[in-house]
Amino acid sequence: MHWFRPLRTESATRLVRGRRAEQLACTYLQAQGYMILERNVRYPVGEIDIVAQEGVTLCFIEVRSTGSQQWGGPLASITDRKRRHLIHAARWYLQDSPTRLPEIRFDVVAIDWQARGPVIELIRGAFTAETSS
Q: Average pLDDT of 80-84?
A: 89
Q: Give residue 132's pLDDT band: very low, low, confident or very high (50, 70, 90).
A: very low
DSSP label at 67? Answer: S
DSSP label at 71? Answer: T
Q: Are 24 and 120 in contact (CB under 8 A)?
A: yes
* pTM for this predicted structure: 0.82
Q: Give residue 24's pLDDT band: very low, low, confident or very high (50, 70, 90).
A: very high
The answer on pLDDT for 4 being more than 70 is no
Neighbours of 133 (CB within 10 A): 8
Q: Are 65 and 23 in contact (CB under 8 A)?
A: no
